[in-house]
Structure 1
Amino acid sequence: MKKDIQMPKVTGVKLCIAKSINDLGESDWHVYLINKNLIELTNVMIVSKGYENKDPGARKTSTLRHMIEQVDGQSVAKVESISPEVFSFFNEFWVSYYIVNELFDKKFVIAPFQEFDLETIDEIDLLGRIAT
């Protein structure tokens, strides 16, 4: 049954964790959804969780769910705050959204990383890690 459902390929959408500096000079970490498409995304549902590894007894984070009604074309949406304590986990994000009346769905994963092992994310002009 599931194999009979044809899901279109997700293109032009990225997810990342990035660091910004607040007014007090402290690091703030957030998860961002980047829409590089020319068209808006609607009814965006993001389910996030973290886990050490696939072992049944491994530590896990809580599962969080976020709904964003609309992400305009070529724009960015801040999804959630994230704590550096979970950077040693695999951070997984299931993203589902509509373009016009077509449903898109993709799992993004950010592998464990160190707080200072960052890359430039051009779309938001911040340092962080991009999900694969």
Structure 2
Amino acid sequence: MIKDLPDNTVKDIAIAVALEKESVESKIWYVYIINLKNEPIENVLITSKGYGEKDGEQVKTSTLRHMFPLVEGNSFKIIEPIDEQTFGLNNEYWLSYYIGTQIYDKKFIFLPESIVEMNFTRLPVINKVGVMIG
């Protein structure tokens, strides 16, 4: 039975956190979905939440939902802004999308303190500096 199910492995899709603007007072960060495929993905649904321990207490952020009817091939969309204060938490992005009639889904988790300068890379398609999970 399980062998009859299609292998809907998520490939060539990434979630990235990029530094948008920086000033003396603050830094502005955004979370992006990057479609590295040559084909579009449709009915893209992303849920985001943060959770973990801060100052010895369990913390949870609100769960947010984002929907994009279409993300073209070799393009990106801004999912949401992200506050630096949540970088010490697990930041989870659960992605579902369709290609044709096939559904795909994957959970992307930025672990605590993984969004740091040491992990920065040049993000493809967006052409900004940030941290990416593919």
- TM-score between the two structures when normalised by the length of structure 1: 0.84
Runs of 4+ in 1 over 3 A off after TM superposition: 1-7, 22-26, 114-118
Partner Cα separation in structure 1 for residue 7 and residue 94 of structure 2: 14
User: What's 1:38 paired with?
Assistant: 38
Deviation at 1:85, TM superposition (A): 0.6
Q: Deviations over 1:61-114 (max 9, x none)?
A: 110000011000000111101100100001000000001111000000111125
Aligned residues: 129
Show the 5 A alignment for 1:22-101. Answer: 27-52=27-52, 58-101=58-101
User: What's 1:127 paired with?
Assistant: 129
- Whether 2:104 is the aligned partner of 1:104: answer yes
Q: Is the 8 A contact 2:29 2:84 kept in 1?
A: yes
Q: Describe the shift of the 1:24–1:68 C-alpha distance in structure 2 as closer, same or farther (beyond 3 A).
A: farther
Q: Is the 8 A contact 1:7 1:103 kept in 2?
A: no
List runs of 5+ in structure 1 lacking aligned partners. none
User: What's 2:15 paired with?
Assistant: 15
Normalized per residue, the structure richer in strand is: 2
Secondary structure of the residue aligned to 2:60 is: coil
- TM-score between the two structures when normalised by the length of structure 2: 0.83
AA aligned opposite 2:101: N
What RMSD, in angstroms, separates the aligned Cα atoms of the two structures?
2.7
Partner Cα separation in structure 2 for residue 91 and residue 23 of structure 1: 24
List runs of 5+ in structure 2 lacking aligned partners. none
